[in-house]
Amino acid sequence: MIQVKDISKSFESNDVLKNITIDFHPGKVNFIIGRSGSGKSVLTKCIVGLMEVNKGEILFDGRNFTAMDRWDRRGIRQEMGMLFQGSALFDSMTVEENVMFPLKMYSNMTKQEMQARVDFCLERVNLSGKNKLFPSEISGGMQKRTGIARAISMNPKYLFCDEPNSGLDPETAIVIDNLIKEITYEFNITTVVVSHDMNSVIEIGDFINFIYKGEMCWQGDRSQILRSDNDILNNFVFPSEFMKEIKDVLRRER
């Protein structure tokens, strides 16, 4: 479990995060949603340690990440996987080399064991046979799947996905969503997804955290989001009349 306790982050006089407290549950897909500029990405960067918080604590299974120095954090970082918005694949490396990179850096596996692990991860994301292609030679959806394969190569306990569906067509987006869900349940990973794709939220979100202007505005599960009376949340999740009608239909169905 990842526990975010009362964290705040500001850039000079701009308070981006204000007293955020969230629990991210293991084996579940936990969403962070919010409008552009609401602080979602900053929150994620604080959790993974790419940014330092001004106040508060972040605990990974009880281990206080914020109190650790860079070297101690490395242990926890090796338990993390992250899928970036733009995939962030190393473009000088092939698909296979990208997935193998964390293994080469940290595992004591033999070459054969690493190859077997890479083949397993690529097969898991339906990319078998694409080993020798470079990121520039594959589609956006395949790049995302390679990113997922790289993220799970070290068998992580925590998976972070930053806008996993951005730039993808709706059909490919569903493939990526389902992959994230399956991997989370299969390997009992604590998954944190940052998104404003409401289709994903409704489809695979087990727990949803809505941030508004740097503050925690609403927390709940998938079914609760449909019944919520929070106007700010409803305006965000169901912005148009058409979406509001869909909400009513979904409410009646569930």
CB of 48 to other proteins, least distance (A): 5
Closest to other proteins by CB, 77 vs 157, is 77
Q: Does 78 bind other proteins (CB under 8 A)?
A: yes
Whether residue 141 contacts residue 172, with contact meaning beta carbons closer than 8 Å, is answered with: yes
For residue 246 the two structure tokens come to 């869909």
Residue 91: count other Cβ atoms within 10 Å of its Cβ.
10
Q: Distance of CA 16 to CAs 12, 65, 86, 106, 211, Å? A: 10, 20, 23, 34, 11
Of the candidate residues 6, 61, 64, 106, the single one contacting other proteins (CB under 8 A) = 106
CB of 38 to other proteins, least distance (A): 20
Residue carrying structure tokens 């972040």: 58
Whether residue 219 contacts residue 209, with contact meaning beta carbons closer than 8 Å, is answered with: yes
DSSP string, 63-76: EESTTS-HHHHHHH
C-alpha to C-alpha distance for 196 and 239, rounded to whole angstroms: 12
Q: Does 112 bind other proteins (CB under 8 A)?
A: no
* Length reported for the chain: 254
CB of 243 to other proteins, least distance (A): 31
What's the CA dihedral at 2, 64, 219, 36 to 10 degrees? -90
Helices within 107-240 (DSSP H only): 111-124, 140-152, 170-187, 198-204, 222-227, 231-237
CB of 234 to other proteins, least distance (A): 33
Of the candidate residues 6, 61, 86, 155, the single one contacting other proteins (CB under 8 A) = 86
Closest to other proteins by CB, 109 vs 174, is 109
C-alpha to C-alpha distance for 125 and 175, rounded to whole angstroms: 10
Q: Does 134 bind other proteins (CB under 8 A)?
A: no
CB of 223 to other proteins, least distance (A): 32
Closest to other proteins by CB, 50 vs 243, is 50
Binding mask 13-42 for other proteins (x = CB under 8 A): ------------------------------
Q: Which of residues 46-65 bind other proteins (CB under 8 A)?
A: 48-50
Q: Does 152 bind other proteins (CB under 8 A)?
A: no
Of the candidate residues 90, 113, 128, 129, the single one contacting other proteins (CB under 8 A) = 90
Closest to other proteins by CB, 39 vs 135, is 135
Largest CA distance in the chain: 58
Closest to other proteins by CB, 135 vs 214, is 135
Interface ranges with other proteins (CB under 8 A) = 48-50, 73-75, 77-78, 80, 82, 84-86, 88-91, 101-102, 104-106, 150, 154, 160
